[in-house]
Structure 1
Amino acid sequence: MTFPRHRGLTEQAAQAAVDSACRMLRLPTIRRQFGELADTATREQMTYLGFLAELLMAECDDRARRRSERRIKATAFPRDKSLREYDFDANPHIDPAVIHTLAACEWVKKGQPLCLIGDSGTGKSHLLIALGTEAAMKGFRVRYTLATKLVNELVEAADDKQLSKTIARYGRVDLLCIDELGYMELDRRGAELLFQVLTEREEKASVAIASNESFGGWTKTFTDPRLCAAIVDRLTFGGNIIETGTESYRLAQTRARVEQRTAG
């Protein structure tokens, strides 16, 4: 397709030409916003160069936003959680400065592990998802899974002779978030398969886990003591350990709401 190059384009023809060009060049943001930005440019007496810069920056910003949204969607997080929503005042065990340092994602860049340890309702999963979201927004490939779901997937892959392919797929992400590790006992085969995933990622790519058990209680999940020790070593060497405590602020919030209704 060719476009007319003479100066006599009517306003309507110019708009149609811009629309067609944007479709051809795949510039959806400029296509949507050029009319509004053109009005702004006229009103603020922008130079041609300034107007062009505004158009291109709008396209770049929107592309970055869409990429970020795609990365967050690819994480398979079960729900949206952000650090802004986390109530640090309700959990004195959590140092906000430490969490916001982790949100910079240098540990992901370095391939270091992260362990969030604490009882139910203390905000482990919230922090796991929120920090994973921060990583995705910064351009890292992130994947979330429940520990039992991951192990079941690995067992099925092994039965179908697809284990190497599955482990390689999990090995390609920059950050693997494993939630609810320690809630259920794993048989030796499942534990060994999980160990293979951790070994594949060791010192190359980050693993973040959330567990309701302290490391001393992991022998209930990984019943082989030597394998348990090896898994703990993989998840703690050179990494960050955040203890979220034992008091459920989720339960405390529920009680507070009940008390408010009763008082009202």
Structure 2
Amino acid sequence: MSRTASFGPGGTVQAGNPLCLIGDSGTGKSHLLIGLGTAIAEAGGRIRYTTAANLVNELAEAASDKQLGRTIKKYGRVDLLCLDEFGYVKLDRHGAELLFQIFTEREERHAIAIASNRPFTEWDQTFTDKRLCQAIVDRLTFEAHIIETGTQSFRLASTTAKRKAAAA
């Protein structure tokens, strides 16, 4: 993968540093994840884009099929894992433990980028086990680039502007 595909000082993707996009719905987090993933793929990197809920479901299915180790290794090999809608769905302890295994597999070796509509202080509403929540926040914020995308929805602003233009 080319150096031009990196984000942040020192090549964050190559260094395995996380990226956290935090903001309300409609503020561009998913678009940023997709754009970043596209840039990394165009530079020859291996990326995987999924929602947090889909990943947890895939891991749970793999565990029941006795394929969890293989699935975790598959996610451990990509250069950038983009997890969208992080914090939208409440995870039981088992789901959070499965997700934690992915973070541990990738930690400081391969980058992860997440998009969440909740600030870190509210993640205990997604992860019901407080210690596990703290461990996940710790792994996702160590050496991370944290970008707050704000609170104003681009979708709502666009719709409002179109209605005003049509009324004029």
Report the alpha carbon displacement of residue 139 of structure 1 after superposing the two structures with TM.
1.3
137, 149, 153: which one aligns with 1:232: 137
What amino acid is the match of 1:187?
A: D
Runs of 4 or more consecutive aligned structure 1 residues displaced over 3 Å after TM superposition = none
- Structure 1: gaps (5+ residues): 1-99
Output the TM-score relative to the length of structure 1: 0.60
SS at match of 2:17: coil
9, 13, 18: which one aligns with 1:108: 13
What amino acid is the match of 1:217?
A: E
Output the TM-score relative to the length of structure 2: 0.94
Distance in 1 (alpha carbons) for counterparts of 2:143 and 2:132: 19
Report the alpha carbon displacement of residue 239 of structure 1 after superposing the two structures with TM.
1.2
Report the alpha carbon displacement of residue 201 of structure 1 after superposing the two structures with TM.
0.2
Higher relative contact order structure (alpha carbons within 8 Å, sequence separation ≥ 6): 2
Report the alpha carbon displacement of residue 206 of structure 1 after superposing the two structures with TM.
0.3
33, 38, 56: which one aligns with 1:133: 38
Give the number of the structure whose residues are more often helix, by fraction: 1
Query: What is the number of residues matched between the two proteins?
Result: 164
Distance in 2 (alpha carbons) for counterparts of 1:111 and 1:188: 26
Alpha carbons of structure 1 residues 217 and 132: separation in structure 2 relative to 1, 3 Å: same
Percent identity of the aligned residues? 64
Residue 152 of structure 2 corresponds to 247
Distance in 1 (alpha carbons) for counterparts of 2:134 and 2:9: 30
SS at match of 1:102: coil
Distance in 1 (alpha carbons) for counterparts of 2:94 and 2:119: 22
What amino acid is the match of 2:64?
A: D
Residue 28 of structure 1 corresponds to none
Distance in 2 (alpha carbons) for counterparts of 1:102 and 1:246: 24
Equivalence map 1:111-122=2 (5 Å): 111-122=16-27
SS at match of 1:179: strand
Distance in 2 (alpha carbons) for counterparts of 1:194 and 1:138: 27
Distance in 1 (alpha carbons) for counterparts of 2:40 and 2:101: 24
Residue 62 of structure 1 corresponds to none
- Structure 2: gaps (5+ residues): none
CA RMSD for the aligned pairs?
Answer: 1.6
Verify: 1:205 aligned to 2:110, yes or no: yes
